[in-house]
């Protein structure tokens, strides 16, 4: 299933290229990307280019293990960036001689990496972005490299790739900077679960001597270690914090002092889809609905490399399945064959689950490129891709 999806994604990249080729490419060195040579493609009857079907070059590099090491070793590392790092080191470790080979290698290993993950959506943002970046850097390579052989070109791309990761890591401070005007003194900020971007944002605001309260709404996984750490970090900056469960949210909102500045939700997301929906752990949709019904703005702090070029039509299991996530919340039991699942069982299974929150519930996205409405996500993606 997933291989098929990624074939199609990859295919669409090529498709995009193919359509742009007429004006964008001088098709000399690029021609081996395409199956059909451009000269003959003019005279052949119209047909779509087939996905690359040749077997990818073999390598003994284990991309899944590398990725897992990376995620576990560095707490600030987000999945998309880790995926990109993995792909870069894959390229560095595999000596290849043609562009076609490189792209095929990347495509197969991306699919392998994605298949290994339970929630591949954030990773897919990274792998797609890198593949896209690679293709465009082949196209728009500096003129000094126009006629050089592939080895120098490859070296150039690899050195630029690390720059790519570095730039991506600068996103969070920028988000914190953009979000600062939103945080008023004496206001209350409600957040859900753990997010590096939100953490950076709150820390930055506290360092800028804003005074505000933070309410942490706990997800099904409860108070995890890194969540406890971030609460402690805020307390050190003398920011008052409270932790409540999702069930207590509406009562907590009613308990806020009416004279205080209006509260706001600032949450993170693991991925943003093309229509502006966000992918988060379970519970966010409920929270967003509550926010909407009591007219409290919901802001999503997210890095723009988490944007995924995939358009869901709703927020149900079929939409998640299109994204490569298979999960099942509903398990009807008749009480005869099985004993009812215990509370601990539920929280452990639902802990890793994700859901889609629709864009009409989101007030704004705070990204390193500025504040944008959910509608603007597709615009950003088109700019990135074409």
Partner 1 sequence: MADSNSSDPSAGGASLNPTAASFTMPSASDSNLTNGHAQPAPNGEGQSKVTVNSQPRTAESAGKATDPNVAEAGAGAKLTGAQLKKQKAAEKAARRAEKVAEKGAQAQVPAQTQGGPGPSGTKVEIPRRPSTTKRESDSVPQLRRTPSGSRTLPIRVGSQQQQQQQTLNSAPPEKEKHHEPKKVGMFSHLYPKEKRATLAGAGREIHPAVLALGLQLRDYVICGGNARCVATLLAFKKVIQTYTTPSGVALSRHLLTHLNHQIAYLRNARPLSTSQGNSIRWLKNLISTQPVEAADSEAKQSLCEAIDLYIRERITLADEVIAREATERIEDGDVILTYAKSSIVEKTLINAHRQGKKFKVIVVDSRPMFEGKNHARSLIRAGLRVQYALLTAIADIVDQEAVTKCFLGASAMLGNGKLLSRVGSAMVAMMAKECSKNKSRNVPVIVLCETVKFSAKAVLDSIILNELGDADALVDSAQPEVFSSTNLSGPGAAAAASKGSSKKSGSKDKDTTGKAGSKKPGGKDKDDDDPDDKGDFSNAGLEAWQDQPGLFLLNIMYDVTPADYLDLVICELGSLPPEAVPVVNGVHGDDQAIA
Point out which residues bind partner 1 (CB under 8 A): 8, 12, 15-16, 18-19, 22, 42, 46-48, 274-276, 309, 311, 313-314, 318, 322, 375, 378-379, 382-383, 385-386
Please, which residue, 115 or 384, has the CB nearer to partner 1? 384
**16 vs 57 by CB, closer to partner 1:** 16
Q: What is the DSSP letter of 341?
A: P
The DSSP bridge partners found for residue 192 are 217
In whole angstroms, how close is the CB of 318 to partner 1 at the nearest point?
7
CB of 361 to partner 1, least distance (A): 14
Q: Closer to partner 1 at the Cβ: 266 or 308?
A: 308
CB nearer to partner 1: give 18 or 61: 18
Q: 278-309 burial string, b = 16+ CB within 10 Å, else e?
A: bbbbbbbbebbebbeeeebebbbbbbbbbbbb
**114 near 2, Cβ under 8 Å?**
yes
The residue (of 34 and 212) whose beta carbon lies closer to partner 1 is 34
CB of 44 to partner 1, least distance (A): 10
126 vs 110: CA distance, rounded Å:
10
Distance CA 227, CA 233 (A): 10
Q: How far is CA 10 from the centre of its chain?
A: 18
Residue 48 or 73 with smaller CB distance to partner 1 = 48
Structural tokens at position 264: 């706001």
Nearest approach, Cβ of 309 to partner 1 (angstroms)? 7
Residue 8 or 146 having the CB closest to partner 1: 8
Distance set, CA 329 to CA 282, 312, 326, 349, 365 (Å)? 10, 19, 10, 9, 28
Beta carbons of 83 and 63 less than 8 angstroms apart: no
Alpha-carbon distance 248 to 181, whole Å? 28
Shorter beta-carbon distance to partner 1: residue 72 or 375? 375
For the bound state, the minimum distance from the C-beta of residue 15 to partner 1, rounded and expressed in Å, comes to 6
Burial 86-124 (b: 16+ CB within 10 A, else e): bbbbbbeebebeebbbbbbbbbbbbbbbbeebebbbbbb
Torsion of CA 77, 80, 86, 89, to 10 degrees: -90
As measured in angstroms, the least distance from the Cβ of 48 to partner 1 is 5
Distance in Å, CB of 17 to partner 1, minimum:
12
Minimum CB distance to partner 1, residue 314 (Å): 5
């Amino acid at each position: 299933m997933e291989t098929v999806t990624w074939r199609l994604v990859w295919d669409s990249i090529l498709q995009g290229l193919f359509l742009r080729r007429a004006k964008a490419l001088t098709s000399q060195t690029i021609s081996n990307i395409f199956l059909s040579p451009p000269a003959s493609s003019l005279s052949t009857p119209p047909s779509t280019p087939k996905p690359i079907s040749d077997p990818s070059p073999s390598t003994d590099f284990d991309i899944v293990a590398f990725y897992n090491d990376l995620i576990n070793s560095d707490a600030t590392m987000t999945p998309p960036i880790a995926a990109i790092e993995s792909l870069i080191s894959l390229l560095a470790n595999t000596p290849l001689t043609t562009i076609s080979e490189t792209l095929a290698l990347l495509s197969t290993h991306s699919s392998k990496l994605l298949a290994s993950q339970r929630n591949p959506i954030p990773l897919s943002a990274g792998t797609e972005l890198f593949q896209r970046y690679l293709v465009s850097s082949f196209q728009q390579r500096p003129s000094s490299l126009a006629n050089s052989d592939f080895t120098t070109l490859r070296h150039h791309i690899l050195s630029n790739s690390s720059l790519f990761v570095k730039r991506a890591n600068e996103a969070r401070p920028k988000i914190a900077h953009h979000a600062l005007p939103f945080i008023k003194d004496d206001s209350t900020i409600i957040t859900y679960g753990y997010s590096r971007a939100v953490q950076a944002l709150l820390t930055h605001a506290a360092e800028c001597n804003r005074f505000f309260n933070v309410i942490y709404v706990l997800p099904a996984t409860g108070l995890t270690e890194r969540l406890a750490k971030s609460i402690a970090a805020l307390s050190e900056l003398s920011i008052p914090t409270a932790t409540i469960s999702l069930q207590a949210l509406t009562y907590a909102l009613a308990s806020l002092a009416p004279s205080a500045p209006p509260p706001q939700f600032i949450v993170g997301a693991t991925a943003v889809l093309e229509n502006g929906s966000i992918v988060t752990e379970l519970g966010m949709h409920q929270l967003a609905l509550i926010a909407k019904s009591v007219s409290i703005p919901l802001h999503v702090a997210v890095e723009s490399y988490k944007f995924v070029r995939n358009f869901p039509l709703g927020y149900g299991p079929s939409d998640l399945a299109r994204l490569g996530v298979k999960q099942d919340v509903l398990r009807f039991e008749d009480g005869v064959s099985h004993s009812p699942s215990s509370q601990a069982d539920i929280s452990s299974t639902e802990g890793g689950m994700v859901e889609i929150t629709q864009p009409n519930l989101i007030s704004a996205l705070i990204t390193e490129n500025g504040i944008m409405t959910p509608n603007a996500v597709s615009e950003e993606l088109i700019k990135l891709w074409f």
